[in-house]
Amino acid sequence: MDRFVIEGPTPLEGEIAVGGAKNAVLPLMAAALLAEGDSVIENVPDLHDVRFFMTILEGLGATCSLVDNRLVISTTGLDSCEAPYDLVRKMRASIYVLGPLLAARGRARVSLPGGCAWGPRPVNLHLEGLGALGAELELSEGYITGRCGTGDHARLRGGRFRFEPSSVGGTANVLMAAVLAEGVTELENCAVEPEVTQLAEALAAAGARIEGVGTTTLRIEGVERIDPLNHRVMADRIEAGTFMAGVAAAGGRITLLGVDTEHLRPVSAVLLDMGCEIREEGDRLTVEMDRRPRPVEVTTRPYPGFPTDMQAQVMAVCALASGTSFITETIYTDRFTHVAELQRLGADIRTDGARATVFGVQQLQGAPVMATDLRASAALVLAGVAAQGETTVNRVYHIDRGYERIETRLARLGASIRREKS
């Protein structure tokens, strides 16, 4: 297992290009299963999660090639409908293959997924939504087994389903399945996160008939086939927000290149309240901080609210604020595994259920810490850049799941950070 060794504090200065969005790439990869031929996805970050998902698709018989952030997925050799435990246990997003397999192949056997250790994140909305389209599903021995009726040409059928609560993964999975279902499907209370909207846009460009893209109500008229995907992935709003939070914590001035500033509005609003200066110019965003952060009150919400995937990073900034901040987590209510590690760096944080009270301190102090999940890892790295002395972040394979060579990119911005073998 690798670790990061960080010497702080160091302000961040310079320009950095933001990579493609992990949370947009994975459902697009699954959507390639809906078409026969070669799907091409551009601006794909070379992440552990992407490589894992390629392995899952290859286990189904697809061939995958990722070169220079260009991913080609060929489905002409698909010969399996089973995603086994040994692969699926490594990442939760593997559940995305369930809907496309049922829609395109009429059957599927997918292990219940793994992924980050925190929080109960049930797959019931995926299963209920697919059931509303006529899928016959059974849970047995840790696997989801599904089929679409009987016969060689059995298809899902259009139906109506309402997500309660709204679910990003559930919306994506059922949307993909509905594209090839017979008849019309109406989905209500859909997630409107940009990654879901991009998936719908990519499917529509390939021949799917989808109305209401970008809204909470989607109407899908099923088609018999779609063309292979040809799509460029949007910039990663969470990666961009992480670098912005790094400036808020450590100070400095950076310019992010290739971003969608609209997607960053919820994060920008919080950082503006904390005292950052933010300037937008086309797809460039500059963030500057020359003072101690001000305290804030933050509640995570579905998009366009403040993203749960930025909660840990903003908590690291709040740890250095000039007063008391309050953070309420409404999406995954036990997503506070990073609190104990931030406390090892000198943060003063108290939790009560889904609410954290952060009493800002003048200075964090370097110490050995342990990463517990993807976004917690990012928070610890940012805290280490802002802390006095040496911080060692262990188990950084978590951060490699969602950030491409983050230590190299932070070093280009002036951070003193290096990767070591444990």
pLDDT digits (tens, 9 = 90+) for 327-359: 999 998 779 999 999 999 999 999 999 999 999
| pLDDT value for 114 | 61
Indicate if 22-232 has the same CATH topology as 2-18+235-421.
yes
Q: What is the sign, positive or negative, of the torsion defined by CA atoms of 174, 178, 183, 187?
A: positive
pLDDT reported for residue 262: 97
Q: Are 278 and 268 spatial neighbours (Cβ–Cβ below 8 Å)?
A: yes
Q: How far apart are CA 392 and CA 377, in angstroms?
A: 11
**Whole-number pLDDT of residue 150:** 66
* Cα 288 from Cα 316, distance rounded (Å): 17
Nearest to 224 by CA among 107, 81, 104: 104
* Whether residue 64 lies in the annotated active site: no
Note whether 133 and 177 are within 8 A (CB): yes
C-alpha to C-alpha distance for 348 and 121, rounded to whole angstroms: 29
Strand stretches in 76-217, DSSP E: 82-83, 107-111, 136-140, 143-147, 160-162, 184-188, 209-211
Helix or strand or coil: residue 101?
A: helix
CA-CA-CA-CA dihedral for 206, 207, 209, 214, to nearest 10 = 20
Bridge partners, residue 254, by sequence:
14, 287
First to last CA, the chain: 6
Residues in the chain: 422
* 2-18+235-421 CATH fold: UDP-n-acetylglucosamine1-carboxyvinyl-transferase; Chain (3.65.10)
Q: What confidence score (pLDDT) does residue 420 get?
A: 96
**Nearest Cα to 93, choosing from 49, 129, 39?**
49
Q: Which fold has domain 22-232?
A: UDP-n-acetylglucosamine1-carboxyvinyl-transferase; Chain (3.65.10)
- Which two tokens mark 36? 């026969």
C-alpha neighbours within 13 Å on the C-beta side of residue 116: 24
CB 223 within 8 A of CB 180: yes
Residue 411's SS3 state is: helix
Q: Is 248 left (phi over 0), alpha (psi -120 to 50) or beta?
A: alpha
Closest CA to 78 of 45, 126, 30: 30
Residues 6+ apart with CB under 8 A from 311: 298, 300, 327, 329, 335, 375
- Where do the domains of the chain lie? 2-18+235-421, 22-232
CA neighbours closer than 13 Å in the CB half-sphere of residue 246: 34
Identify any residues that bridge with 182 across adjacent strands, giving them in sequence order.
Answer: 157
At 112 the pLDDT is 85
In tens digits, the chain (422 residues) has pLDDT values of 899 999 999 999 999 999 999 999 999 999 999 999 999 999 999 999 999 999 999 999 999 999 999 999 999 999 999 998 887 777 778 899 999 999 999 999 998 876 554 444 568 999 999 999 999 999 888 899 999 976 656 899 999 999 999 999 999 999 999 999 999 999 999 999 999 999 999 999 999 999 999 999 999 999 999 999 999 999 999 999 999 999 999 999 999 999 999 999 999 999 999 999 999 999 999 999 999 999 999 999 999 999 999 999 999 999 999 999 999 999 987 799 999 999 999 999 999 999 999 999 999 999 999 998 999 999 999 999 999 999 999 999 999 999 999 999 999 999 999 999 97
DSSP per residue, 180-223 = TSBSEEEEES----HHHHHHHHHHHHTT-EEESTTSS-EEEE--
Catalytic pick among 116, 190, 276, 318 = 116
Consecutive H or E run containing 17 = strand 12-17
- Alpha-carbon distances, residue 103 vs 47, 138, 265, 276 (angstroms): 28, 17, 36, 47
Predicted model pTM: 0.95
Question: pLDDT value at position 152?
Answer: 59
- What is the reported pLDDT for 153? 64
